[in-house]
Amino acid sequence: MSSIAQEVARRRTFAIISHPDAGKTTLTEKLLLFSGAIQIAGSVKARKASRHAASDWMEIEKQRGISVASSVMQMEYKDCVINLLDTPGHQDFSEDTYRVLTAVDAAIMVIDAANGIEPQTIRLLQVCRARNTPIITFVNKLDREVKEPLDLLSEIESHLGMDAIPFSWPIGMGKHFGGVFDLRNDRMRLFKAGQERLDGNDEYIEGLHNPIIKEKFGSYYDKALEEIELIREATPTFDHAEFLAGKQTPVFFGSAVNNFGVQEVLDTLVEWAPKPGARQALQRTVQPEEPKFTGVVFKVQANMDPAHRDRVAFVRVSSGKFERGMRLKVSRTNKEIRPNNVVSFLSQRRELLDEAYAGDVIGIPNHGVLHLGDVLTEGENLQFTGLPFFAPELFQAVEVKDPLRSKQLRTGLTQLGEEGAIQVFRPEAAGGALLLGAVGQLQFEVVVHRLKTEYGVDAHLMPSRYTMARWFTSDNPAALRKFMTSNAQHIAYDVVDAPAFLVSSMAQLRVAEELNPDIKFHAMREHG
């Protein structure tokens, strides 16, 4: 095996998806504990603590260094290099989250066992499902009174549309939570509370039918036994290929805050989750073990100094080996860059990154040379597919208070649009105000704040009657022209001049679909 192939084989790149408060931060901290990266665990907490209000978010954005550093965490565990990509949740939920999911090879889904699957998780799951990303499920908070495990299992199956295969099964819950039965190793692991517990001194009782378990847990054991017999009959056996294809999800029960059941999740990730795979470009398929470097920008984040329009482009390495100072070509512009000052996300070693392989993420500070979706190569012209833009669900019209600054407004919005901070639509109809589209409310606040601090523009947002946008295409040019002429007042162009149809209700969209069978409407546009 080449040394590149060896490095690729030990990479695992994943994200944690969950509804706010399900326990993502807690789980992240525990995962970091296992790899010895404790300092970062503190900064995970710090980030979380300040994300509750928009104003706090602005505050932390002033220290963007922190949020840049904690948005990718790299750790070593059992000879694997693990890259954990943070997906912002809560009010700062935005399109970024979706795009981060395009840069991972697997996901861990955390569910609060008292609440089951919640709305925000469902949206993230849809993105994973669309890409057949393998998902490991962690059912959290068994130390509380929660839903019945069997009910949770069927909830997972119906929302994921995949088979949920329990790897462990809880005995009791809440005050009577006794532990979990490890179904693959036929032993029970006893629950012990405690925040900073690490592995090493766990207590096990061997064998499902061991009388000691019955003696200790009585009716809770009887109930668990019945359930285990039921699921053994009703669920298929775990099949690695099915997991990799996104058709089966292994399910674990535990308690993140007590560090109970966390290590099993990490072990499963290392053992079963895929190494970085091939990526499809328009021109060809790129294999991660290829000697030449390729990578794609999946996120752009404004950095420390707004006055200098400093940005960090997050590049997921797709193939080859990245070395500091190497010459790279940006496929879109044919320009060459030579990144020296690369941000490393290695949590144990804070020094500059020296090399990176497929699955790793590197941060390249730049002044706007790198855009979302840009491909970096050693010279080859490549365009990757699959970086999604989602149809916004919230719209606001934007105007500048001082008309003399409307040019700055356009410049600012173009740049913020390219960065993916917000979607900007230019109406077809003459004289219409620019429209901003977002999937999260906070995106608007951030854009107004950044227009002011970075471009000196006092922007004024106004309500818009639109609630939905669909990009559209057609194989029939005459039908396309007719549709565009008869709906001119509802058409606007996005940042790459792709036309979109704007409506204020689902009913309106349905009517348009019925009247225009030759037009295809798309809720998602892929970059390129």
Q: Which of 248, 255, 377, 396 binds ligand GDP (CB under 6 A)?
A: 255
Q: Which of 18, 67, 94, 168 binds ligand GDP (CB under 6 A)?
A: 18
The answer to whether 52 is annotated as binding is: no
Residue 24 binding ligand GDP, by CB under 6 A: yes
Residue 80 binding ligand GDP, by CB under 6 A: no
Residue 21 binding ligand GDP, by CB under 6 A: yes
Distance CA 47, CA 59 (A): 11
Q: Which of 5, 9, 20, 278 binds ligand GDP (CB under 6 A)?
A: 20
Output b/e per residue, 37-71; b: 16+ Cβ within 10 A.
beebbebbeebbebbeebeebbebbeebeebbbbb
From residue 36 to residue 65, the character string flagging contacts with ligand GDP as x (rule: CB under 6 A) and all else as - is ------------x-----------------
The answer to whether 140 is annotated as binding is: yes
Distance CA 500, CA 494 (A): 7
The answer to whether 325 is annotated as binding is: no
The four Cα atoms 82, 84, 85, 90 give a dihedral, to 10 degrees, of 170
Are β-strands 11-18 and 80-85 bridged in parallel, bridged antiparallel, or unpaired?
parallel
From the CB of 347, what's the least distance to ligand GDP, in Å?
A: 18
Residue 147 binding ligand GDP, by CB under 6 A: no
Q: Which is nearer to ligand GDP, 171 or 435 (CB)?
A: 171
**Structural contact between residues 499 and 471, judged by C-beta atoms closer than 8 angstroms:** yes
**Structural contact between residues 110 and 42, judged by C-beta atoms closer than 8 angstroms:** no
Q: Which of 13, 14, 26, 437 binds ligand GDP (CB under 6 A)?
A: 26
Distance CA 520, CA 153 (A): 37
* Other Cβ atoms closer than 10 A to 514: 8
From residue 256 to residue 295, the character string flagging contacts with ligand GDP as x (rule: CB under 6 A) and all else as - is xxx-------------------------------------
For ligand GDP, which stretch binds (CB under 6 A), given 22-30, 238-246, 286-294, 338-346?
Answer: 22-30
Question: How far separated are the first and last CA of the chain, in Å rounded?
Answer: 34
Distance CA 325, CA 342 (A): 9
Size of residue set near ligand GDP by CB under 6 A: 17
The answer to whether 25 is annotated as binding is: yes
Which residue in the block uniquely carries the two structure tokens 């029970």?
188
Residue 373 binding ligand GDP, by CB under 6 A: no
Residues that bind ligand GDP (CB under 6 A): 18, 20-26, 48, 140-141, 143-144, 255-258
Residues annotated in the binding site for GTP, as ranges? Answer: 18-25, 86-90, 140-143
Point out the annotated binding site: 18-25, 86-90, 140-143
